[in-house]
Structure 1
Amino acid sequence: MTSTWIDTPITADLLPGALDVQHTARGVLPHRLPAWARAQNTDSQLAMVEAQPAGVRLAIRTRATAIELDALPTRWTYTGLPSRPDGVYDLLVDGQLIDQASVAGGDTVTIDMSSGTTQRRSGPPGTVRFTGLPDRMKHVEIWLPHNETTELVALRTDAPVTPAPIRGRRVWLHHGSSISQGSNAAGPTTTWPALAARSGGVDLVNLGFGGSALLDPFTARTMRDTPADLISVKIGINLVNTDVMRLRALGPAVHGFLDTIRDGHPHTPLLVISPIYCPIHEDTPGPGSFDLAALATGQVRFRATGDPAEKATGKLTLGVVREELARITVQRAAADPNLHHLDGLALYGEADFAELPLPDDLHPDTAAHRRIAERFGPQVFDTNGPFAGPVA
């Protein structure tokens, strides 16, 4: 055990990927929406997921060989279902993943889907330890769990630390659904945006919000105000599985979302990505629902509850959304040469589903996240791609 620990306050400049840092009674809580945007939100789902630090990392410059991070996670479980595995902390040294760990303890919120009630159980903070680091000056990143709320309590090292210097890399700002947040990925650096950012040599700001990519105006204004060199929006699956709007509203909502982003980034490369393949919603509208038969056997699966005939009344399916996004992007690109479109089926299509099926019928697993990232890089970051440019 190291006897000469140095305590370093955890401040916003140590947490790239966070757009706000809230000081709580127990520590600091990274947020991926600013306070003014959170004040406009009344949805508990979005409140939960924006406080899950997907893409947020503790980034320092140090020659420390040992690091301890005290953290207090909040984990969400469902009555009758097995608990999720504890969130994973990925340790990168000079860009290379060298260790992983999890934190015990923390708070648990249990949701009873039959009654709609929640019960919270409080627990103590835990500690994640990384030792045996190389004894030299190095760039260290601890990527925080992408799927559980994480309050950071204390940072200790056996040598002084400073905020990681700006590396001059381009900043990629991405917004999407739980697929972009990283549902079913094994760890925070194996979500498809994290993998794609690494291959493209860019710094990621991940605004993937599980169940909550709903063209909210406060999200568009957040993106408008966030410095970025590259921007992408992945639109569709949540619009369908929440059944939040009809075709009549979709076009104006997409235009408004893009208009708002353009107010702050008039010439930044902006990529509109349509949904990846998801059989339950390809031709069947939402709303989506848990598959109760699967739940009875302790499995989590999803199903579509709409009727394909309802497309005639304006209900959305993934096929309808893809057609509309392609139409809107072509229309706008005539006056906006930095606006681009990517068909999500080029990232993960029907053949990919046959090989790497969605384990819960909605979210890709780690292998499929990697497949999506491997497809994204050559189409987007390589020469002639919409994000082509220097790799730092």
Structure 2
Amino acid sequence: MNSQLNDATDDPQAAGAAGWTTTPIGADLLRGALEVERTAHGVLPHRLPARARRQFPDAYLATVETQPSGVRLVFRTRATTVELDALRTKNGYRGVPPRPDGVYDLLVDGHPAGQATANGGNVLMVDMATGSAELVPGPPGTVRFEGLPARLKDVEIWLPYNEVTELIALRTDAPVEPAREHGRRVWLHHGSSISHGSNAAGPATIWPALAASLGGVELVNLGLGGNALLDPFTARALRDTPADLISVKIGINIVNTDLMRLRAFGPAVHGFLDTIREGHPDTPLLVVSPILCPLQEDTPGPLAPDLRDGKLSFRALGDPAEVAAGRLTLTVIRRELARITAQRGADDPNLHHIDGRSLYGEADFAEFPLPDGLHPDPAGHRRIGERFAELAFAEDGPFGEGRAV
């Protein structure tokens, strides 16, 4: 394929006259996925390995881990037009206006070059009051980008963070080859729905993607909406995934699911970090506590959906008086994470901690309020990504290349 690309004409009309090229989609063209499953339609990127999926065969987790946040098609081509056939599964919520379609972001040589959405697809209708869901099937759709520069270039298509996406066919008007390796460090990140991308403008502008771009690293995003719960199978996935840098954002899901009490939280954090360290004994490992969320700063969970006024928002149901008995809030979790990382740091110089309020705090909330009470808007994602890059990727920061241990 290399010779086809290098010898191809720079004339897009000549390339078009030669006909379309269909390129098989496989792991060689995908970045950010831990596994790729062959399906009846094409390929389905997974962000958790099969072993983890077998250990907790939960329908919600199955949805979020197959929503390809941070997953992108990356290739090198002279093509001026690119088409991608895909079968999406989009979430819908009963009693709430339809949510926006998932977005595909196009980057050319690392620069934004367009956005598109897919037509057709399935809809998973969720009843937030009961938790039940019904799948309404639909046909595959096509995403099309045209007017690309006719020169040889690196193309990235970032897949929607909020739609399960089965990739069926990649067509171009010139041959395609896998992109060259740039030798960038790999950053493996785990977090909640905010890390997953909730309310961001597109997949390349979720905060981890923005931070990765600013830090000059390759992102593998294990942000799992509603599922940053210190699960052992997630810790093992982090342990077994090659990475040069690792971060874990811990807290908000544990509070809003009311998953555990203070007695269980500390040992669970230690166990999660111990498992990661089994596979990455010396890798820079950054623990990030929750960003500001007034709903749950001092009020325990669980969190419940609030559908008043036809908009989805959230409210906390816990009693602040029960914190003394071990119920968890964001304030309690930040204190415990600071204590645990300080304790472990005495023997682990590559373990670091960032208070999430340094990424998004009181002043940021006043400037960019959380639209649904829980998730930042696109401007909030940009603020968090820029702050993370400033703190983590600074020369002497936890992920800085000049940091001395």
- Fold match, TM over 0.5? yes
1:1-392 to 2 correspondences below 5 Å:
2=16, 4-291=19-306, 295-389=307-401
CA contact (8 A) 2:107 2:156 kept: yes
1:179 aligned counterpart, secondary structure: helix
Shift of 1:27: 1.1
Q: Distance in 1 between matches of 2:124 and 2:394?
A: 43
Residue aligned with 1:70, SS: strand
Tell me by how many angstroms 1:232 deviates. Answer: 0.2
Secondary structure at the aligned position of 1:113 is classed as: coil
Assess, with a 3 A threshold, how the Cα gap between structure 1 residues 254 and 114 changes in structure 2: closer, same or farther: closer
Comparing 268-277 with 129-138, greater Cα deviation is found at: 129-138
Whole-Å separation in 2 of the counterparts to 1:114 and 1:84? 17
> Contact conserved, 2:74 with 2:156, CA < 8 A, in 1?
yes
- Which letter maps to 1:333? G
Partner SS for 1:49: helix
Shift of 1:225: 0.6
Contact 2:83 2:142 in 1 (8 A): yes
TM-superposed deviation, 1:383: 1.5
The letter for the 2-side match of 1:43 is D
Render the CA deviation track for 1:30-72: whole Å, top value 9, x for unaligned: 0100111111113222111000000000000111111100011
Look up the SS of the partner of 2:31 in the other structure: coil
CA distance in 1: counterparts of 2:354 and 2:80, whole angstroms: 43
Q: TM-score, normalised by structure 2?
A: 0.94
Deviation at 1:310, TM superposition (A): 0.8
Indicate the SS of the match to 1:55: coil
Once residues 116 and 233 of structure 1 are traced to their aligned partners in structure 2, the CA distance between those partners, rounded to angstroms, is: 28
Amino acid corresponding to residue 144 of structure 2 in structure 1:
R
TM, length-normalised to structure 1? 0.97
Distance in 1 between the 2:158 and 2:211 partners?
Answer: 15
Tell me, what secondary structure is at the counterpart of 1:13? Answer: coil
Q: Distance in 2 between matches of 1:286 and 1:92?
A: 40
1:113 CA displacement: 3.1
Superposition deviation, residue 132 in structure 1? 1.1
Aligned partners of 1:149, 1:271: CA distance in 2, in Å?
A: 29
Q: Displacement, 1:354?
A: 1.2
- Closer/same/farther in 2, CA of residues 373 and 114 from structure 1, 3 Å limit: closer
CA displacement, residues 226-255 of structure 1 (integer Å, 9 cap, x when unaligned): 000000000000000000000000110000
1: distance between equivalents of 2:234 and 2:297? 26
**Alpha-carbon offset, residue 115 of structure 1:** 4.3
Report SS of the residue matched to 1:219: helix
- The answer for the alignment partner of 2:4 in structure 1 is none
**Structure 2 vs 1, CA of residues 233 and 63 (structure 1 numbering), >3 Å: closer, same or farther?**
same
1:114–1:376 CA distance, 2 compared to 1 (3 A): closer
Structure 1: gaps (5+ residues): none
- Inter-partner Cα distance in structure 2 for 1:242 and 1:331: 27
Identify the residue that residue 9 of structure 2 maps to in structure 1. Answer: none
CA distance in structure 1 between the aligned counterparts of 2:353 and 2:64, rounded to whole angstroms: 27
* Unaligned stretches of 5+ residues in structure 2: 1-12
Q: Which runs of 4+ in 1 moved over 4 A?
A: none
Please give the alpha-carbon distance, in whole angstroms, between the structure 1 residues aligned to 2:135 and 2:294: 35
Question: Residue type matched to 1:285 in 2?
Answer: P
Partner SS, residue 204 of structure 2: coil
Q: Give the Cα–Cα distance (whole angstroms) in 2 for the partners of residues 165 and 238 of structure 1.
A: 38
Deviation at 1:284, TM superposition (A): 0.2
Asked whether the 8 Å contact 2:82–2:173 carries over to 1, the reply is yes
Q: Secondary structure at the match of 1:189?
A: helix
1:173 is paired with a residue whose SS is: strand
Structure 2: distance between partners of 1:112 and 1:359: 21
What secondary structure is seen at the aligned counterpart in 1 of 2:283?
A: coil
Which SS does the other structure have where 2:340 is aligned? helix
Supply the AA of the counterpart residue of 1:335: D
What amino acid is the match of 1:78? Y
* Counterpart position of 2:8: none
Letter of the aligned partner of 2:322 in structure 1? Answer: E
Counterpart residue identity of residue 186, structure 2: V
CA distance in 2, matches of 1:12, 1:150: 15
Count of residues in correspondence between the two structures: 387
